Amino acid sequence: MKIKTILLLLLFGLTSAEILAQEPTFTRKGAFYFYWGYNRSVYARTNLHFNGPEYDFTLYDLKGTDRPTRFGWEYFDPSRFTIPQYNFRLGYYITDRFTISLGSDHMKYVVSANQKTRISGVITDAISEKYGGAYLNQEIVLTEDLLKFEHSDGFNFSTIDLAYLQPLFEKGEFSVLLNMGIGGVWIITKTNVKVFGEGLDNDFHIAGYGLAGKVGPRVEFKNRLFLLGEIKGGYASLPSVLIKNSEPEIGDHNLSFLEYYVALGVNFKIKRRKNKRAPTTAIHP
């Protein structure tokens, strides 16, 4: 099932759970929350290592960027709103201040073309007459006939997060809190890559793992609806990046990143239905 279908079903379920029903007091403990938003990200330089039957080489100090979608209808169209760089998270309040959550940050990472880099390793003439040879820290220009590399359908950071909410300010129906958290687990990539002109837009694949910390303010209305803005810094190790799906060619690299995002969310409780017992009729002798 596609992610957009799952999200639409989840939103429908939240609505039918009467998430906006008024209560005399709303305590977060035992409640849930859900948010959806969009992100931008910046990346530190990285070394990319490629290994296959005809080559084993490393490119050093490569620059990469994200690939945001220009603001437009894609952000609102139910059939296209997963195209931009998005975030979603479903969480549970363990206490009024501590939460645990599951979610994914759909970031994108694209190695900049035509940049100067350095190369070390061995490339056979059988795979490339132009680049065949042995290299030791030699300068080279990253043209597309050497490498095209992008996690363009997903540098997807799927995480389990633990977080703490610190109240900062409250006035009337509005309150401001500071959210601080840490989390990580899998990095799921869908990598469009060509090495010496050969490669694929590969399948979704667990390429590695990551860990990140986040902090940012949350503005709540009636303790129900909220707007949040957070900054997240993290590190990802990707030892298993696909080049030709099931073929033996593999790429690997490590990434440090800084992500920032804005999201709209809702706190809700799932009401349990009370069992109605049928009245009993006394039987007299």
Report the CATH number at residue 91: 2.40.160.20
> What is the pLDDT at residue 226?
97
Task: From 190, 194, 185, select the one nearest 204 (Cα to Cα).
Answer: 190
On whether residue 220 sits in a domain, the answer given is: yes
On whether residue 131 sits in a domain, the answer given is: no
Tell me the C-alpha to C-alpha distance, in Å, between residue 239 and each of 117, 193, 209, 236, 251. 21, 15, 9, 10, 7
Range(s) of the domain holding residue 108: 29-45+63-113+146-268
> What is the pLDDT at residue 280?
55
Question: What would the DSSP string read from start to end of 84-97?
Answer: S-EEEEEEEESSSS
On whether residue 78 sits in a domain, the answer given is: yes
> What is the pLDDT at residue 12?
45
On whether residue 90 sits in a domain, the answer given is: yes
> What is the pLDDT at residue 14?
47
Domain count along the chain: 1
On whether residue 2 sits in a domain, the answer given is: no
Q: Which long-range contacts (CB under 8 A, 24 or more apart) does 231-236 make?
A: 231/258, 231/259, 231/260, 232/105, 232/258, 232/259, 232/260, 232/261, 233/257, 233/258, 233/259, 234/157, 234/184, 234/210, 234/259, 235/210, 235/211, 236/155, 236/157, 236/187, 236/208, 236/209, 236/210
Q: What's the half-sphere exposure (Cβ side, CA atoms, 13 Å) at 229?
A: 3
> How high is the mean pLDDT in each 10-residue block of the chain (285 residues)?
49 44 67 96 97 96 94 82 92 97 97 97 95 96 96 94 96 94 96 94 96 97 94 97 93 97 95 63 52
On whether residue 50 sits in a domain, the answer given is: no
On whether residue 141 sits in a domain, the answer given is: no
> What is the pLDDT at residue 7?
52
Q: What is the dihedral of CA 76, 160, 193, 244, to 10 degrees?
A: -120
pLDDT in tens, 200-226: 999 999 999 999 999 999 999 988 999
> What is the pLDDT at residue 36?
96
Task: From 248, 253, 252, select the one nearest 127 (Cα to Cα).
Answer: 248
